[in-house]
Amino acid sequence: MIRLFAIAGGLFFAVAALWSFVTGAYVAATEGLGEETAEHAFHEHPKKLHLASDGVFGKWDLNQLQRGYQVYKEVCSACHSMKFVALRNLSDLGYNEDEVKAEAANWQVPGIDPNTGEATTRPGLPIDYFPSPYPNNVAAAAANNNAIPPDLSLITKARHNGSAYVYSLLTGYQAQPAALLEEFPDSKTPDGLHYNPYFPNLNLAMAPPLNADQVTYADGTEATVDQMAQDVSAFLTWTAEPTMVERKRTGWPVLGFLLFATILAFFAKKQVWAAVKPKPAVTPAKRKD
């Protein structure tokens, strides 16, 4: 009886699913599989980017991180916050205690006037977090034509292949290809937006932020757009996961130990089972007492 009900139920679900299939197939046959879109046709995957922190043995390139920090400080921080990173974290980039203090003091963080209690700003201390350029999202939207600049703390983890994505986006601005306009005449980049094939919908609110020699690197590296984009991608890889290198470094001894223990366990298992492995006249294990 239960099997009759089951067969009936099974046929019900199967027919319902096939009904959806037939309806869908009919629509596909009469109207095609949906129109090709400009986003789909012209979106590009990120370019290759090699960072010292890549791979299972990756290490931070501290000089590059310092350069990237300089780019963030002098360019990105005008619009983008980085609220999960503390100024004290700069010590990871190879700055000593005094340098971190001095660097922190360069940032103006929100404070309270000790006499009146009114909101004011004061020089940052290492324990402070990176200040946001806007007091709130409404202000950020108002200042940027309604496009809120995303927080950059986690940006390289919040995008597929994030480090390469940031690098590609920063170096990917270009004129809209003529082929695109030919194929999709309605997809002209709107005023106030900027064509960038690495951005998911191709039209980005952020104007090209980097120009050659925009920053002057202390270590004498030439500040090309490509160099700055690589450096800031490396820096944002660090901000997204400052513990990444520590994580990889911890992993090796753990895996090494586990491999050793597993090999031991394999031989122990073999040894225990040696007593009952198939033999013509097997005597099953008996208890001792």
**Shorter beta-carbon distance to another protein: residue 30 or 220:** 30
Structure tokens at 271: 């040894």
Which residue in the set 48, 96, 136, 160 belongs to the binding site for another protein (CB under 8 A)?
A: 160
Interaction of residue 212 with another protein, rule CB under 8 A: no
Interaction of residue 50 with another protein, rule CB under 8 A: no
Binders in 101-130 for another protein, by CB under 8 A: 126-127
Contacts of 171 (CB under 8 A, 6+ apart): 47, 210, 225, 226, 229
111, containing H or E segment: strand 108-112
Contact 169, 197 (CB under 8 A): no
Interaction of residue 2 with another protein, rule CB under 8 A: yes
Contacts of 91 (CB under 8 A, 6+ apart): 97, 100, 126
Binders in 57-96 for another protein, by CB under 8 A: 84, 86, 88-89
Interaction of residue 288 with another protein, rule CB under 8 A: yes
Interaction of residue 216 with another protein, rule CB under 8 A: no
Question: Minimum distance from CB of 184 to another protein (Å)?
Answer: 18
Tally Cβ neighbours within 10 Å of residue 67. Answer: 25
Question: Minimum distance from CB of 249 to another protein (Å)?
Answer: 9
**Cα-to-chain-centroid distance, residue 262:** 34
Binders in 266-285 for another protein, by CB under 8 A: 266-269, 271-276, 278-280, 282-285
**Nearest alpha carbon to residue 234 among 52, 76, 82, 48:** 52
Q: Per CB under 8 A, which region of 74-82, 206-214, 225-233, 241-249 contacts another protein?
A: 241-249
**Shorter beta-carbon distance to another protein: residue 156 or 227:** 156
Q: How far is CA 282 from CA 41, 258, 270, 271, 285, in A?
A: 68, 34, 17, 16, 9
Interaction of residue 150 with another protein, rule CB under 8 A: yes
**Shorter beta-carbon distance to another protein: residue 28 or 112:** 28
Q: Per CB under 8 A, which region of 45-53, 104-112, 203-211, 260-268 contacts another protein?
A: 260-268
Structure tokens at 113: 């006037």
Which residue in the set 29, 56, 175, 178 belongs to the binding site for another protein (CB under 8 A)?
A: 56
**Shorter beta-carbon distance to another protein: residue 158 or 218:** 158
Q: Which residue type sits at 177?
A: P
Question: Minimum distance from CB of 113 to another protein (Å)?
Answer: 14
Which residue in the set 66, 70, 153, 227 belongs to the binding site for another protein (CB under 8 A)?
A: 153
**Shorter beta-carbon distance to another protein: residue 3 or 48:** 3
List, as own/partner pairs, every contact residues 262-268 make where C-beta atoms lie below 8 angstroms and the sequence separation is at least 24, other chains included: none
What DSSP string runs through 18-38? HHHHHHHHHHHHHH-S----H
Question: Minimum distance from CB of 37 to another protein (Å)?
Answer: 11
What DSSP string runs through 154-169? TTTTSSTTHHHHHHHH
Interaction of residue 241 with another protein, rule CB under 8 A: yes
